Amino acid sequence: MSATSKRLAFLEKVTQDGSTDPIAWYGLAMEYRALERWDDALRTFETLRGTKPDYVPMYLMCGQMLSKVGRKDDARAWLEAGVTQARGAGNSHALGELEDALGTLDE
């Protein structure tokens, strides 16, 4: 079994067992994203957003993924929500990255 499949299996188990740890959910979404399992990644990002909406990193990663697969309106919505969360958290680094990503949507 490859390292990727072991990591994926572990994260699937942890989240299915009811973990509320945002890092586990984020990690699972990122594994799905890396495997180009777009629907699974989006579903996982949505679950994370529903339980931990202030987890800022997910907004950029999900927005970039949606942009990559041609879902620009959905990407914009995620990135704009991330801007709101980053501002609220005073996270200027994330805010800059999210604003940059928004700027590239129209290119």
The per-residue pLDDT for range 31-41, each reduced to its tens digit, is: 999 999 999 99
The range of the structural domain enclosing residue 66 comes to 3-104
Where helices occur in the chain by DSSP H, the ranges are 3-16, 22-34, 38-51, 57-68, 72-89, 92-104
* Calpha distance 95→49 (Å, rounded): 17
pLDDT at res. 32: 98
Mean pLDDT along residues 74-97:
97
Q: What's the domain count of the chain?
A: 1
Confidence of residue 74 (pLDDT cuts 50, 70, 90): very high
Output DSSP code: residue 74: H
Question: Comparing C-alpha atoms, which of 70, 64, 63, 72 is closest to residue 106?
Answer: 72
pLDDT at res. 2: 83
39: CATH: 1.25.40.10
